[in-house]
Amino acid sequence: MSEEIKNKMNLNSLASVGTSQNRKRVGRGIGSGTGKTAGRGHKGQKSRSGGNIRLGFEGGQMPLQMRLPKFGFSSRVNNNFKEVNIKNIDGMETVNLETLKENKLIGKSIKKVKIFGNTAVTSKITIEGINLTKGAKESIENAGGMIVASKANDQIESNKNDSEIEVDKE
């Protein structure tokens, strides 16, 4: 038994050779190895107090982030618009903004939605107040679904043409 107790490994009996090092105490005299200049070398910006160089600074040369071209554009007008694929709404009975938000297909801040895609739908879907593409409208109607108070692309374009014609008549 006494041999088993001697060979038993405990946290306090583990050796920690080389795992922890003492911190470098700079500026403590010549004999310390980091005296006088405290490991900073002689002169120059990095030897001074507060002498650090900002991130991305290349010594006066034009920095990389300024040499590369800008790209992208984020519209502030259409941030509350989202498209939903018809595959994602297959199986739902009624589709409106509230049901899409409940099913987490769109975010909370979204105010306008358009359903796209022309894949075959298996369930009867009732669309309420959401815009559709031609293909989405056809596939919903072919499955026996219903569209309530929404505008397809054809209707929007025909309304634009009607308003232009009315203006011409006057």
pTM > 0.85: no
How does DSSP assign 49-88, residue by residue? Answer: TT----TT-BTTBPPHHHHSPP-----SSSTTEEEEEHHH
What residue ranges define each of the domains in the chain, with the CATH number in brackets?
A: 22-72 (no CATH), 81-169 (3.100.10.10)
pLDDT tens profile 77-87: 778 889 999 99
pLDDT at 17: 80
DSSP state of 95: E
Can you give the pLDDT at residue 100?
93
* Predicted local distance difference test score (pLDDT) of residue 54: 92
For residues 96 and 106, give the distance between their C-alpha atoms in angstroms, rounded to a whole number. 11
Residue 6: predicted pLDDT: 65
DSSP 8-state symbol, 143: T
End-to-end Cα separation, the chain, in angstroms? 111
**Taking the chain (170 residues) in consecutive chunks of 10 residues, what is each chunk's mean pLDDT?**
68 80 89 91 92 92 95 83 92 91 92 91 90 92 85 55 54
The pLDDT assigned to 157 comes to 55
